[in-house]
């Protein structure tokens, strides 16, 4: 096989894969700079909420009407930045309670970038208020929440795009088209997925008074309330009360990308083992080591993470490898490489697409993941296209639910120390009443858990 590298220029000039899957057709990307102004609101104005919003501003004609955050300092800072980025130059109206924001305005689009424990209530309320929703992953902290968001999206006929932007990452779109869909892998029977980032946090802090600028009661919402220690509302991914751990944060991306690449649905069985093996002194209660197996017919997708030690392959610390009888595809957020069976060198590769020449503001944006910027712009364009064409986006809520719920079930399996089989049709764990009860986490009063049958 001839060895070549797919670079940015050749991808943008020659590839039709992105235009095909976003259904933009011959009009191309510039068609979205039309006269229609979409009214946008953001719930959760932290790091990734702002990042998502800025990518939308770059590719669509929008007016950011309002922002919501329980942290007044974060909210004020975000409003100032948005006024400098949006065309009108207007400062969005600011809210601390998202329910008031939804009641005061009619939105075309709501972006949700809050901690995971808030996703379900906010997404469902935004859908009921008439908005299409861009929801960050994981979509929920329990399986029943995800079922409820899906039910609401279908009942009210709203587009819900999930922030699993690997499905819109240029080099991965190209890998799917030219390697997976072209049949170069042959029969696929194994996938390895991993994350070896030291990201868990060695948190050791005593309780502190809640600062005046933070509404900690509202931040906690339906989740259990932990003592405030100065980092809970910023390092919330360290605590299972507010998230699904590293499996829900990092595995959901790689597992979702694998399912998209291979056109996989619900796993037939999920099992997991792990725990806190090394970083026992931290207040964090997420696992520092975990192994999970998502089983399909003649195919296992296996996840491993460690928040300590070295990565087996320093070039691919957060990645997946799809193994076929004729070759293997090694992929990450940075690049992909294809190795035919028996070859020590890749015969096809591509790096992430850098669009900073077209979008120079990327280079000065604080905290931006530059490697993901083009992917998220594509993801936003796909979202807008689905709204305009009344279709399903590439990371539709159903796909986000499958990936999220599978990761939640892996955590449940780890806790219960047994494999689980989830039946989406009955919304039960087959033959396991105890596990079925864990599909719905108790809510703190007065918040009420959404019911998939009553949204």
Average pLDDT value for residue range 71-89 = 97
Same domain, 132 and 18: yes
What's the start-to-end Cα distance of the chain, in Å?
54
Same domain, 21 and 156: yes
DSSP H/E element including 12: helix 8-14
- Last residue in a domain, options 166, 193, 221: 166
State residue 1's pLDDT score: 36
Same domain, 247 and 299: yes
Q: Which tens digits make up the pLDDT trace of 94-107?
A: 999 999 999 999 99
Q: Are 123 and 41 in contact (CB under 8 A)?
A: no
Q: Quick check: is 433 in a domain?
A: yes
pLDDT greater than 70 at residue 24: no
Same domain, 145 and 279: no
pLDDT greater than 60 at residue 13: no
* pLDDT band at 202; cut points 50, 70, 90: confident
Same domain, 278 and 418: yes
* pLDDT band at 25; cut points 50, 70, 90: very low
pLDDT greater than 70 at residue 2: no
Percent of the chain topping pLDDT 90: 90
φ, ψ of residue 98 to 5 degrees: the values are -65, -25
Percent of the chain topping pLDDT 70: 92
Same domain, 223 and 322: yes
- Lowest-confidence segment of 16-30, 121-135, 398-412 by average pLDDT: 16-30
Q: Are 389 and 178 in contact (CB under 8 A)?
A: no
Residue 211: which domain range? 169-359+398-437
Cα separation, 454 vs 301, whole angstroms: 34
Cα separation, 253 vs 259, whole angstroms: 10
Same domain, 135 and 173: no
For the entire predicted model, the pTM comes to 0.93
Average pLDDT value for residue range 166-183 = 98
Query: Exposed e or buried b for every residue in 143-155, given b needs 16+ CB within 10 A?
Result: bbbbbbbbbbbee
Same domain, 276 and 411: yes
State residue 405's pLDDT score: 98
Q: Are 214 and 75 in contact (CB under 8 A)?
A: no
CATH number at residue 184: 3.30.360.10
Residue 351, classified by CB atoms within 10 Å of its CB into exposed (0-12), middle (13-18) or buried (19+), is middle
How many domains, the chain? 2
Length of the chain measured in residues: 455
φ, ψ of residue 30 to 5 degrees: the values are -70, -10
Q: Quick check: is 196 in a domain?
A: yes
Q: Which tens digits make up the pLDDT trace of 393-404?
A: 999 999 999 999
Same domain, 174 and 29: no
Picking from 157, 156, 120, 148, the residue whose alpha carbon sits closest to that of residue 135 is 120
Same domain, 23 and 152: yes
- Last residue in a domain, options 166, 192, 225: 166
Cα separation, 438 vs 442, whole angstroms: 9
Same domain, 174 and 221: yes
* Secondary structure class of 190 (helix, strand, coil): strand
Other C-beta atoms within 10 Å of 383: how many?
27
As given in the structure block, the two tokens for residue 384 are: 């807008």
State residue 56's pLDDT score: 98
Average pLDDT value for residue range 162-189 = 98
Q: Quick check: is 444 in a domain?
A: no
Same domain, 158 and 177: no
CATH number at residue 42: 3.40.50.720
State residue 7's pLDDT score: 47
């Amino acid at each position: 096989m001839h060895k070549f590298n797919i670079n940015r220029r050749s991808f943008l000039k020659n590839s039709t894969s992105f235009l095909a899957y976003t259904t933009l057709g011959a009009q191309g990307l510039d068609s979205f700079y039309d006269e229609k102004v979409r009214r946008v609101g953001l719930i959760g104005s932290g790091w990734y909420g702002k990042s998502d919003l800025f990518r939308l501003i770059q590719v669509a004609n929008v007016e950011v009407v309002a922002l919501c955050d329980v942290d007044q300092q974060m909210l004020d800072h975000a409003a100032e930045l948005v006024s400098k980025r949006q065309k009108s130059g207007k400062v969005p109206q600011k809210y601390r309670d998202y329910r008031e924001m939804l009641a005061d305005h009619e939105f075309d689009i709501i972006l949700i970038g809050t901690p995971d424990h808030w996703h379900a209530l906010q997404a469902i309320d935004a859908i009921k208020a008439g908005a299409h929703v861009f929801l960050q992953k994981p979509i929920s902290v329990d399986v029943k929440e995800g079922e409820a968001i899906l039910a609401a999206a279908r009942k009210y006929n709203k587009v819900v795009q999930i922030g699993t932007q690997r499905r819109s990452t240029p080099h991965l779109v190209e890998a799917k088209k030219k390697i997976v869909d072209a049949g170069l892998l042959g029969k696929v029977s194994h996938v390895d997925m991993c994350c070896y980032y030291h990201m868990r946090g060695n948190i050791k802090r005593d309780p502190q008074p809640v600062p005046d600028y933070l509404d900690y009661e509202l931040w906690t919402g339906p989740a259990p309330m932990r003592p405030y220690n100065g980092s809970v509302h910023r390092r919330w991914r360290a605590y299972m009360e507010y998230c699904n751990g590293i499996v829900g944060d990092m595995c959901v991306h790689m597992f979702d990308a694998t399912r998209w690449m291979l056109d996989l649905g619900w796993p037939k069985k999920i099992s997991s083992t792990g725990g806190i093996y090394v970083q026992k002194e931290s207040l964090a209660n997420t696992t520092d080591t975990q192994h999970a197996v998502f089983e399909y017919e003649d195919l296992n997708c296996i996840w491993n993470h460690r928040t300590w030690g070295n990565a087996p392959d320093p070039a691919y610390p957060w990645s997946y490898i799809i193994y076929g009888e004729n070759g293997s595809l090694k992929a990450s957020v940075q690049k992909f490489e294809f190795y035919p069976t028996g070859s020590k060198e890749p015969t096809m590769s591509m790096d992430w697409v850098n669009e900073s020449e077209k979008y120079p503001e990327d280079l000065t944006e604080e905290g931006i993941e530059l490697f993901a910027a083009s992917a998220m712009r594509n993801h936003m364009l796909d979202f807008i296209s689905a709204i305009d064409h009344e279709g399903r986006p590439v990371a539709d809520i159903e796909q986000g639910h499958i990936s999220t719920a599978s990761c939640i079930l892996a955590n449940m399996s780890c806790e219960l120390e047994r494999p689980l089989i989830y039946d989406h049709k009955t919304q039960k764990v087959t033959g396991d009443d105890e596990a079925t009860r864990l599909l719905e986490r108790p809510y703190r009063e007065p918040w009420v858990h959404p019911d998939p049958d009553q949204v």
